[in-house]
Amino acid sequence: MSAMDYSKLKNRSSWPFETIGVAVAFSPRLENILSEAKILSRQFNASLILMHVGERTRNKEHKLSDLMQKVGLDEKTVRVVWNEGEPVQTLLYLCKLNVVDLLILGAMRKENVLQYYMGTLARKISRKAKCSVLLLTEPSIGGSKFKKVVVNIAESPKTIHTLDTAIYLAKQVCSKEIIAASETHQPGLAMTMADDNTVSEVSRIRKDIKEQAHDKLNELLLACQGGEGIDISEKQVAGKPGYAIRAFATSKKADLLVINSPDVKYGIIDRIFTHGMEYILEDLPCNLLIVHSRIQA
């Protein structure tokens, strides 16, 4: 793959989604994914690119053409890109080349242990993509509903962009509710509290931690753009980052969980000592949007 001009990507806002890419894997769920892509591209008024990494054969061309017709995708306006190579790297390359703002992938909710540690295409792309990624756990012909959206409010400069993107998405897909949830986890707190604190001191420490988190969340909500007209509630969830938000999204029966893209490159060691986004990828609670804000954390 030749050197590319990334100037179009630099400082590009994480929203609006002007170009939506779809990874075409010819799986049994392809028809559903294409249907979802069609609906989303209309809702976001975005152009659509279908990308397949693998050999281009007559059979595949016919199959894709048939499916596109079936779901109502116009072959004249939808670009289809065929490319051979290592699937993950090639797909990432194609996304950059075509300035894709949102990549749509189908993903199993949970994978078996071997698949999880080896990493499937969807999970690998989620860890490495330089654009936002939407993992659809149960793509359907009628399109997924995103009525209840949970946004993970992490302590990161990326979060404001993630929240803005979530609000933009919620407006476009007519969501009813956004829950901005921050995770409170303080390593060493139990040890410190056990040392020499009175009951009132313990209560004060706990209260301070809660209030600090609440203030930060409020600051963020005030700073975000276009929140008017949408019901945004806030919530603090206790537990390890990644796991706590996953459990919260599950308990709330959320339709979509929105998180920041990872700050560091995730590898096998991060799956062994699971943390952060890996807890979510390990067992997807619902559809997942990973927002890549294209800024360095």
Partner 1 sequence: MPFKLGHQDLIILLLAISTMLILSRIVAELGKRFKLPVVMGELLVGIALGPTILGTLYPEAYDYLFPLATNPKVGYALDGIFSLSVIMLLFVAGMEVDLPLVLRQGKTAIYTGLGGMILPFFTGFAVAWWLPDVFGLHPEGQARLIFALFLGTALSISALPVIARILMDMNLFKTNIGMIIIASAMFNDLLGWLIFSFILSLGGNGASEMGIGTTIAWIIAFGAFMLFVGRRIINRVLPWVQNKLSWPGGVLAMSLGLCLVCAAFTESINIHAILGAFIAGIAIGDSVHLREQAREIIHQFVTNFFAPLFFVSIGLKVNFVENFDLVTVSVILVLAFVGKVVGASIGARIGGLNRNAALAVGFGLNARGAMEIILGTLAYNAGIIGKPIFVALVIMALVTSLTSGPLMRRFVKDNGEIKPSPDLR
Residues that bind partner 1 (CB under 8 A): 186-196, 205, 209, 212, 238-241, 243, 263-264, 269-270, 272-276, 279
Q: Tell me the three-class secondary structure of 229-248, residue by residue.
A: CCEEEEEEEECCCCHHHHHH
- Please say which residue, 101 or 111, places its beta carbon nearer to partner 1: 111
- Please say which residue, 3 or 272, places its beta carbon nearer to partner 1: 272
- Please say which residue, 69 or 192, places its beta carbon nearer to partner 1: 192
CA–CA distance, 91 with 209 (Å, rounded to integer): 43
What the block records as the tokens of 101 is 């703002």
Eight-class DSSP state of 283: B
Residue 67 CB coordination number (10 Å): 19
Q: What is the DSSP string of 85-154?
A: S-HHHHHHHHHHHTT-SEEEEE--SB--HHHHHH--HHHHHHHH-SSEEEEESS--TT-----EEEEEE-
Least Å from the CB of residue 148 to partner 1: 23
Least Å from the CB of residue 132 to partner 1: 22
Least Å from the CB of residue 182 to partner 1: 12
Buried-exposed string 117-140: b where 16+ CB fall within 10 A, e elsewhere: eebbbbbbbbbbbebbbbbbeebe
- Please say which residue, 54 or 239, places its beta carbon nearer to partner 1: 239
- Please say which residue, 3 or 268, places its beta carbon nearer to partner 1: 268
Residue 95 CB coordination number (10 Å): 25
- Please say which residue, 12 or 206, places its beta carbon nearer to partner 1: 206
Q: Which residue in 227, 127, 243 sits closest to 183, CA to CA?
A: 243
- Please say which residue, 82 or 116, places its beta carbon nearer to partner 1: 116
Least Å from the CB of residue 10 to partner 1: 21
Least Å from the CB of residue 219 to partner 1: 15
Least Å from the CB of residue 139 to partner 1: 29
Least Å from the CB of residue 191 to partner 1: 5
**For residues 21, 24, 27 and 32, what is the CA-based torsion angle, rounded to 10 degrees?**
40
